[in-house]
Amino acid sequence: MPDITDDATRWDDIAARLRPGADGLVAAVAQQWDTGEVLMLAWMDAEALRRTLQTGRATYWSRSRQEYWVKGDTSGHVQQVREVRLDCDGDAILLRVDQTGPACHTGTRSCFDADVLLGAEDAA
């Protein structure tokens, strides 16, 4: 994978487009690239994004532990990154990934599997 973070000018330009919230973070949505399933939402600062682009492994900032974490480093449930997109106002990133095993630390495929507040059958 070509590493755009090697190009300092291009990287500075990307980092300058980020519009983090009060906590200095942007939201990162991980989506399984082939099925379209939304797997999880985590948080990134510019450094987490740089590491993700550089390594091709999804790397986030943990708000609870206040540290970087590479998805799957402890669990083995890695996210190989195929595509990274920034949204129109710079406060969200979409990662299209190939997820090994469950994305959620609870063991479900997606972090959105367990808690349905409104179901499609209700809306019908």
If the CB atoms of residues 38 and 78 are measured against a second copy, the closer one turns out to be 38
Which class for 83: exposed (0-12), middle (13-18), buried (19 or more C-beta within 10 A)? exposed
Confirm or reject binding of residue 15 to a second copy (CB under 8 A).
Answer: no
Residue with smaller CB distance to a second copy, 93 or 99: 93
Give the C-alpha distances (Å, rounded to integers) separating 5 from 34, 37, 41, 44, 115.
26, 28, 23, 16, 38
| Residue type at 88 in one-letter notation | C
User: Residues in the site for a second copy, rule: CB under 8 A?
Assistant: 1-2, 4, 14, 17, 21-23, 25, 27, 29, 31, 33, 35-38, 40-41, 49, 53, 56, 63, 80-89, 91-94, 96, 104-106, 108, 111-120, 122-123
